[in-house]
Amino acid sequence: MIHSVRFKAVLDTNVIYPVIIRDLLFWFAHYDLYTPKWSKQIFIEWERVMEEKGVSKEEIQKRVQIANKAFPDALVNNYDGLLKNLELPDPDDCHILAAAIKINANVIVTNNLKDFPEEYLDSFGLKVKSADDFLTDIIDLNHEQAVTAFKEMVLHKKNPELDEYQVLDMLRKSGLNDTANYLHTLL
């Protein structure tokens, strides 16, 4: 069940890069709805994507520092020994699986589900979920806390200031249709 900081989720780069998805994931984690985890390689990829998208080096460092400061225990280390025994459709994703195995994670949250075959992950006691499915599961199990986290996230949107419905539209535009629709029904 996803209702505890004991529930550990390894977040792939593709769910950390989009600001609005990262914000909601991080606010839910801030409210102890789950524990986020990542590898150094995930953040290296995140930095590379931000650079490719034209984000300044200063802003990249700021975002990375904020994430690491907010969740100082999120970084998974010492999983390299597991890499040689792992096989995924995209070998570049093995570090994500290795990090998840190392910390006995419950789920890998990625929008590249095809890169993490369900049957193979089952052999490690792991599940894979899209960001939309993961977030709707959290909301389903924790209505009040999820709505409180969402509302606080909205209050922190300053540049520009946005209301709840504008943020819901941003979530939809980022592929979080079910999440946005679910939150909408609870507001």
Give the domain CATH number at 101: 3.40.50.1010
Per residue in 154-163, pLDDT (tens digit) is 999 887 888 9
What global pTM score does this model have?
0.93
| In-domain check, residue 143 | no
For residue 1, the model assigns a pLDDT of: 45
Residue 5 has pLDDT above 90, yes or no: no
The mean per-residue pLDDT over the stretch 164-179 comes to 96
| In-domain check, residue 3 | no
| In-domain check, residue 137 | no
Q: What is 81-142 written as a DSSP string?
A: HHHTT---SSGGGHHHHHHHHHTT-SEEE-S-GGGS-HHHHHTTT-EEE-HHHHHHHHHHH-
| In-domain check, residue 155 | no
| In-domain check, residue 36 | yes
For residue 165, the model assigns a pLDDT of: 94
Mapping DSSP to helix (H, G, I), strand (E, B) and coil, where does residue 158 land?
Answer: strand
Q: Which helix (H) or strand (E) segment is 150 a member of?
A: helix 143-155
Q: pLDDT band for position 4 (50/70/90)?
A: low
Residue 7 has pLDDT above 50, yes or no: yes
Residue 33 has pLDDT above 60, yes or no: yes
| In-domain check, residue 139 | no
| In-domain check, residue 169 | no
- The number of distinct structural domains making up the chain is 1
Closest CA to 24 of 148, 107, 160, 144: 148
- Give the range of the structural domain holding residue 38, as residue numbers without chain letter: 8-131
